[in-house]
Amino acid sequence: MQRNKKLDPENIKLVLNTLCFCGICKKKIRDLLIALDLYKKHREKGVDVRIAIDLICLAQEKMYDVAILLSGDSDLAPAVERVVQKEKKKVINAYFLTNTGKELRDASSSCFLINPLSLKDCMKN
């Protein structure tokens, strides 16, 4: 399975420009990536494990009723399955057309494809 490209500044800029976000949303997304420490030139390992742990632990602590998971990583399917079946939480999988796993979509309560048309309210005219 091919891994996503690194989240270096050039790739982020390309994605933001391709999706035609307004200037305010571009800044918010960039600031969020910086705050989450994802705006760097190398790929972190173990992110899927940390997401799975948070998904399960926060569900057990009753910190959410519905999780929206923006990922296509099928490695998260067992954690999502556990949260949906054992913790009785809803997990909505938001995914992009590329690099998405059917197993994750199947494990989720529901899912939807993110594409430029679904982001039209945020796009420039």
- At the second CATH level, the architecture of 9-116 is 3-Layer(aba) Sandwich (3.40)
pLDDT of res. 36: 66
Averaged pLDDT score across all residues of the chain: 80
Whole-number Å distance between alpha carbons of 125 and 113: 22
- Is the separation of the CB atoms in 69 and 92 below 8 Å? yes
**Which of the four pLDDT bands, split at 50, 70 and 90, describes residue 23?**
confident
Give yes or no for residue 7 having a pLDDT over 90.
no
> Model's pTM, two decimal places?
0.61
CB atoms within 10 A of CB 13: 12
> Is 96 buried (19+), middle (13-18) or exposed (0-12) by CB count in 10 A?
middle
In degrees and rounded to multiples of 5, residue 90 shows phi and psi of -95, 140
